[in-house]
Structure 1
Amino acid sequence: MELTPRLRLMNWLVHQGLTGLSENDLLRGFCERCRAGGMPLSRGLIFIDTLHPIFEGRGFRWNESETNESDIFEYGSTSSGDAGQSWRRSTFYHMLQNGHDEMAIDLADCATLDFSMINELAEKGHKHFVAFVHRFGEAGTIGEMDCFYSYWTTRQSEGFGEHHMAALRDLVPVLGLAVKSAAQVDIARTLGRVYLGRETAEQVMRGRISRGVTERIKAVLWYSDIRGSTAISERIGPDEIIPFLNDYAQASIDAIHDAGGEVLKLIGDGVLAMFTQQNMAVAKRAALRAEHRFRRNLNALNARRAGEGRPTTSAYVGLHVGEVFYGNIGSEDRLDFTVVGPAVNEVSRIASMCSSVDRELLTSQAFRDGLDAAGRNYLVSTGRFALRGISRAQDLYTLDPDVATDEVVAGKYERYLAS
């Protein structure tokens, strides 16, 4: 690959890295331009560790011809199990262990090598393999993201040759820098969604981070709380507490997200969420849909946990509607993007009343009144109650018991929620 196309490719990588091209498109554009410049690439694979609660990292593939392989793959922990064994057999692990940055293998003579992937590549007609590990400095490391890994193959029997190797040595680090830039954006968005919530993260990523900047919105508020969690936590072993809390949090968060809600905060074993729509009746129906899905999730979860001999429980849900302030609240160096206002306090108090009236769902009158006639018919009064810390008593409503006991009513309710 001559100097001029090499420089053009470097410039393209820098430009696309600045504009935010995805990792997959960066790899494809890189490989296509390498081939157009005379480099006989037949396959390229890159991967980079990340900071994610589930995946250890993400990888990307390119092939000169169509294959059944996915262009993008994600991988879990490589510290144990089959993934760990495969990682320890990889060329990259060997390179890290021995302090190598580059490793070339003649695939025509690799039968004695015990590296994963190598024999498979040879069987597919690739003749020469070269792998690179580009390490990040301490200041450039985020979590496990401390290296950019890549390998490249050619079908030419003579291999890449020193001229092509020199081009790869120049170009791959620039590709790595562009991929790292894209991966860091992915990490920022992931951390935002995981710790702040979907819509809240988007607000922050769009630059709404100034202290005291809020907007006044009308929202349907959800507060749910695990039933008897303190007593259960005292009975089970310490190593079971977090899995217990995680299982029931997952059941509620999945239901809220599936119905279009936004989880704002996890408060111990409680979940604060909101549903917003221009038409508040639509938002209220979405909240009821989430509550219904939450119960189904709980049934499935409890069946699984009971089969495993692990403790089970249920949950209380309070639903309310009101005006709240949504935005940045806190000190100069520690902000929380959340909702505040009397309605937030009220919804938590409503949820706390569930145990007193022995109902798993309670809604305020304001929530019920905004529903259409069909929706109001499914909510029945439990009485008027004084809420702790709230100046005025409130009428509270729960789901008509017939929804749980009468199949016909249950079917009508499900069709109402789906409409």
Structure 2
Amino acid sequence: MECLDERASSLIPWMIDQGLRSSGRQDLLNTFCEKLVDLGLPLWRFHLAQRAFHPKFGGIGYSWTRSDGISHEHYERRETPREAWLKSPFYLMLETELEFFRSDLAADDRSRFPLLGELKTRGATDYFALTLRFTEDDVPIDPNAPSEGVLASWTSDSADGFSEADIALLRAVYPVLGLALKSMSNRQMASDLLQIYLGRDPGQRVLSGEFQRGSSTEIDAVIGMFDLKGFTSLAGDLPGPELINMINDYFGIAVAATQAHGGNILKFLGDGMLIMFNLGSIEKDARAALDAAAEMCRVISARNQERLAEGLSTTDWTLALHAGHILYGNIGAENRLDFTVIGPAVNQTARIAGMHRSVGQNLIFSQVVQQAVPEAEHDMVSLGRYMLRGVATPMELYTIYRPQGTMPELVPYVED
């Protein structure tokens, strides 16, 4: 068997290279485990947990076994920690600030930690775990909300378990593994947060380098303005948490419908949002926008019935759609930029959005959108021609006909 220096010297340069390349954590960990086995480590199982910067998931776990390879699992944020977490060696290490934990899976450890009992039943003989923090040592540790860092465990099924040389090897390479993971997770964190706060397409563009002030792209797209009706009066009547839950409920439906049909959420505007469909042609954009609108009609209608049955407040919505030539890019000050859209088509969409009360329809769209979609796909009905403020020529507006019984009655419009 190679000595420690030789084994470590073959792993560490490779891990540094992987960290610089940021190829992906799952591939890195899978190959890391395979290399350990090739170097003579009697490794049967490996597990690593790392914090995630995501509104839905608090962490991510990677598990590797000699027979099945690598897999991963996202851990959803929970108000009450899972029982399995509270009774795990990792929790003990964070709670008592232990740098390492090792067990030969004796009876006392198996009764204290159900995981170790399960591993023993499956043939494990030795368990070794390490923690690595990415923050200052004087920062308090909350095991239910861990700070940045990684927790990892290695399990052997060899009769003799891990040798002292094996443990020394793991200790030697673990900080380098942590550094590579930190590099990769920082890029993943940037990607996740940019897409969550800017939108999928703007986030990808900014991450790829499109962040120079004034940089923009000229595109043809469908622009949409979604709004919740009567929200100002609801804001005065509902408690804050109930109001936030309600707006998140409706926005969740509108966002899901938009993204399911290839659209992007450009920004939230109080009780509304600005959306864009840019799929390569006005025909594709218009079709996707109307399909998304039809889905919003159906799902919000069903959700309103559920909310009424649950004794929750309900509201209605509006959506205005228009298509045209726009500038898509970075606008703002040197130290505060926004990735958004500007141009006459955007302004005209806002003017169309101001017509919902006059025409008495939730969904209205311009003739440009109507002409781009085959009539057979949606039963489109003209609402008439209107002179819109700031628009030189009359604009014909349309909606989708919904037979009686497919939608609830329109909620009376309330000035916001």
| TM-superposed deviation, 1:368 | 2.1
Contact 2:262 2:279 in 1 (8 A): no
Alignment map for 1:269-280 (pairs within 5 Å): 269-280=271-282
> Taking structure 1 as reference, are residues 353 and 114 closer, same or farther at Cα in structure 2, changes over 3 Å only?
same
Question: Matches of 1:91 and 1:351 in 2, distance apart?
Answer: 57
Task: Determine which of 97, 101, 104 is the counterpart of 1:106.
Answer: 104
Alignment map for 1:78-97 (pairs within 5 Å): 80-83=79-82, 85-97=83-95
Contact 1:91 1:116 in 2 (8 A): no
TM-score using structure 1 length: 0.89
Question: Matches of 2:321 and 2:77 in 1, distance apart?
Answer: 39
Alignment map for 1:343-362 (pairs within 5 Å): 343-362=345-364
| TM-superposed deviation, 1:113 | 4.2
| Residue aligning to 2:234 | 232
- The residue type equivalent to 1:4 in the other structure is E
Aligned-partner SS, 2:322? strand
| TM-superposed deviation, 1:148 | 0.8
Aligned-partner SS, 1:404? coil
Contact 1:110 1:119 in 2 (8 A): no
| TM-superposed deviation, 1:200 | 1.1
Contact 1:110 1:118 in 2 (8 A): no
| 2:128 paired with 1:126 | no
| TM-superposed deviation, 1:365 | 2.3
Question: Matches of 1:21 and 1:364 in 2, distance apart?
Answer: 45
- The residue type equivalent to 1:173 in the other structure is P
Contact 2:110 2:117 in 1 (8 A): no
| Residue aligning to 2:323 | 321
| Residue aligning to 1:304 | 306
- The residue type equivalent to 2:129 in the other structure is A
> Taking structure 1 as reference, are residues 297 and 183 closer, same or farther at Cα in structure 2, changes over 3 Å only?
same
> Taking structure 1 as reference, are residues 373 and 65 closer, same or farther at Cα in structure 2, changes over 3 Å only?
closer
Question: Matches of 2:77 and 2:383 in 1, distance apart?
Answer: 50
| Residue aligning to 1:339 | 341
Contact 1:51 1:145 in 2 (8 A): no
| TM-superposed deviation, 1:277 | 3.4
Aligned-partner SS, 1:75? strand
Contact 2:220 2:281 in 1 (8 A): no
Alignment map for 1:168-187 (pairs within 5 Å): 168-187=170-189
> Taking structure 1 as reference, are residues 112 and 291 closer, same or farther at Cα in structure 2, changes over 3 Å only?
closer
Question: Matches of 1:244 and 1:110 in 2, distance apart?
Answer: 49
| Residue aligning to 1:417 | none
- The residue type equivalent to 1:296 in the other structure is R
| TM-superposed deviation, 1:240 | 0.3
Cα-to-partner distance string for 1:96-147 (whole Å, 9 max, x where unaligned): 22221011111134456412411111111101111111111249x9x95522
| TM-superposed deviation, 1:338 | 0.7
> Taking structure 1 as reference, are residues 27 and 277 closer, same or farther at Cα in structure 2, changes over 3 Å only?
closer
Contact 2:221 2:281 in 1 (8 A): no
Give the number of aligned pairs.
399
Q: Which has the higher helix share?
A: 1
| 2:46 paired with 1:60 | no
| TM-superposed deviation, 1:174 | 1.4
Question: Matches of 1:371 and 1:103 in 2, distance apart?
Answer: 64
> Taking structure 1 as reference, are residues 279 and 111 closer, same or farther at Cα in structure 2, changes over 3 Å only?
closer
Cα-to-partner distance string for 1:197-244 (whole Å, 9 max, x where unaligned): 111111111101110011111111111111222222222222101111
Question: Matches of 1:344 and 1:138 in 2, distance apart?
Answer: 48
| TM-superposed deviation, 1:322 | 1.4
Alignment map for 1:361-380 (pairs within 5 Å): 361-374=363-376, 378-380=379-381
| 2:60 paired with 1:76 | no
What is the percentage of aligned positions where both structures have the same residue? 35
Aligned-partner SS, 1:56? strand
Alignment map for 1:36-51 (pairs within 5 Å): 36-51=38-53
> Taking structure 1 as reference, are residues 157 and 373 closer, same or farther at Cα in structure 2, changes over 3 Å only?
closer
Question: Matches of 2:146 and 2:108 in 1, distance apart?
Answer: 31
Contact 2:135 2:147 in 1 (8 A): no
- The residue type equivalent to 1:380 in the other structure is V
Cα-to-partner distance string for 1:301-346 (whole Å, 9 max, x where unaligned): 2132122110112211101011111000001111001101122122
| Residue aligning to 2:412 | none
| Residue aligning to 2:213 | 211
Deviates more, 1:31-40 or 1:360-369: 360-369
| TM-superposed deviation, 1:388 | 4.3
Contact 1:323 1:343 in 2 (8 A): yes
| TM-superposed deviation, 1:73 | 0.5
TM-score using structure 2 length: 0.90
Aligned-partner SS, 1:160? coil
> Taking structure 1 as reference, are residues 8 and 342 closer, same or farther at Cα in structure 2, changes over 3 Å only?
same
Cα-to-partner distance string for 1:243-284 (whole Å, 9 max, x where unaligned): 111011111111111111111111011111111233312211
| Residue aligning to 1:414 | none
Question: Matches of 1:159 and 1:189 in 2, distance apart?
Answer: 40
Task: Determine which of 5, 14, 17 is the counterpart of 2:16.
Answer: 14
- The residue type equivalent to 1:74 in the other structure is H
Aligned-partner SS, 2:341? strand
Cα-to-partner distance string for 1:5-37 (whole Å, 9 max, x where unaligned): 321111111111212222111111111111111
Question: Matches of 2:183 and 2:280 in 1, distance apart?
Answer: 37
| TM-superposed deviation, 1:357 | 1.6
Aligned-partner SS, 1:38? coil
Deviates more, 1:311-320 or 1:2-11: 2-11
Cα-to-partner distance string for 1:172-198 (whole Å, 9 max, x where unaligned): 221122122221111111111111111
Aligned-partner SS, 2:112? coil
| TM-superposed deviation, 1:389 | 5.0
| 2:385 paired with 1:384 | yes
Unaligned runs of 5+ in 2: 140-144, 408-416
Unaligned runs of 5+ in 1: 411-419
Contact 2:216 2:328 in 1 (8 A): yes
